[in-house]
């Protein structure tokens, strides 16, 4: 403009100024809204990536089916991630509604204004905002489903831990029954036998030995009998544990079939 003659500069200003006067009232507002919509589009993309990551962790992604051990999942971390996504979505929803009101106001003003370019810009931004708002409406549904899956995973983990504790308790109970049976059978007879044999003589004088020199024979027989009885007891323990595991296995199969039947009914 500095290199143009005065009359040319003034004539150019006369041409440009009316056009700027038509667009300028909407220019700054449109640029701000456009920047906000671009930022919100990036935020929705980040939320989409976060949801995809959570789906992979929980093993619910259809395109990447993975068997997940619920006992190894960090449900507190998952819950914090879902709460963060829910908070971002709630904030985005509020921003979209605010932008909708702004665009509605601009649209009303643009309808009364002569600048068709401004009306086109406002209409474009309004359509863009509506599309993003529709996309944002889909994500809260998925986060609600994630919350239900997290709670379901916690319940399954607690159920698995309870079953493991029940199995360990049942196995301990079976072993204790075996030990109690062996003790009840051998302890009274052994105690009575050892003091009724000739290995001990309590009718001797103070300076004579109460125990016999043949006491080593008692220990020899004891070690031999222990070597015979101990393998039998171990075999009995293993048999009781196997019986307990089979009983628990049947219970698990029944629970799984009942769960599948419930899912089919739903």
Complete DSSP assignment for 124-138:
HHHHHHHHHHHHHHH
Helix extents (H) in 201-214: none
Q: Give, for all 266 residues of the chain, the pLDDT tens digit.
A: 444 444 444 444 444 444 444 455 566 777 777 787 888 788 888 888 888 887 777 777 666 666 667 677 777 777 777 777 777 777 777 777 777 777 777 777 666 665 444 556 666 677 777 766 666 666 676 677 677 777 777 777 777 777 777 777 766 776 677 777 777 677 666 766 666 666 666 666 677 676 666 767 777 777 887 787 778 777 877 777 777 667 666 555 555 444 444 434 43
pTM over 0.85: no
Q: How far apart are CA 249 and CA 148, in angstroms?
A: 28
Tokens of 203: 């009718």
Give pLDDT, residue 150: 74
Predicted local distance difference test score (pLDDT) of residue 249: 62
Joined together, the tokens standing for residue 139 give 């994500």
Q: Distances from the Cα of 69 to the Cαs of 39, 102, 104, 211, 213, in angstroms?
A: 37, 49, 50, 63, 64
Q: Which phi and psi (to 5°) does residue 200 adopt?
A: -125, 140
| CA 130 distance to own-chain centroid | 33
DSSP state, residue 212: -
């Amino acid at each position: 403009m500095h290199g143009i003659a005065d009359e040319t500069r003034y004539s150019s200003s006369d041409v440009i100024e009316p056009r700027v006067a038509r667009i300028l009232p909407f220019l700054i507002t449109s640029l701000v809204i456009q920047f906000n919509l671009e930022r919100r589009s990036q935020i929705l993309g980040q939320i989409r990536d976060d949801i995809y990551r959570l789906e992979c962790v929980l093993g619910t992604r259809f395109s990447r089916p993975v068997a997940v051990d619920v006992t190894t999942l960090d449900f507190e971390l998952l819950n914090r991630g879902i709460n963060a996504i829910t908070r971002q979505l709630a904030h985005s929803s509020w921003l979209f509604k605010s932008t909708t009101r702004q665009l509605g106001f601009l649209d009303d003003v643009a309808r009364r204004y002569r600048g068709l370019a401004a009306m086109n810009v406002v209409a474009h931004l309004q359509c863009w905002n509506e599309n993003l708002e529709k996309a944002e409406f889909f994500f809260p549904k998925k986060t609600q489903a994630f919350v239900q899956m997290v709670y379901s995973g916690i319940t399954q983990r607690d159920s698995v831990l309870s079953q493991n504790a029940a199995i360990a308790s049942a196995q301990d109970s079976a072993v204790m029954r075996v030990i109690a049976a062996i003790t009840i059978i051998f302890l009274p007879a052994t105690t009575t036998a050892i003091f009724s044999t000739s290995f001990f003589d309590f009718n001797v004088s103070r300076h004579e030995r109460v125990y016999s020199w043949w006491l080593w024979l008692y220990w020899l027989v004891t070690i031999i009998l222990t070597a015979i009885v101990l393998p039998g007891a171990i075999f009995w323990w293993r048999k009781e544990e196997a019986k307990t595991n089979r009983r628990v296995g049947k219970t698990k199969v029944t629970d799984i079939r009942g769960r599948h039947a419930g899912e089919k009914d739903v």
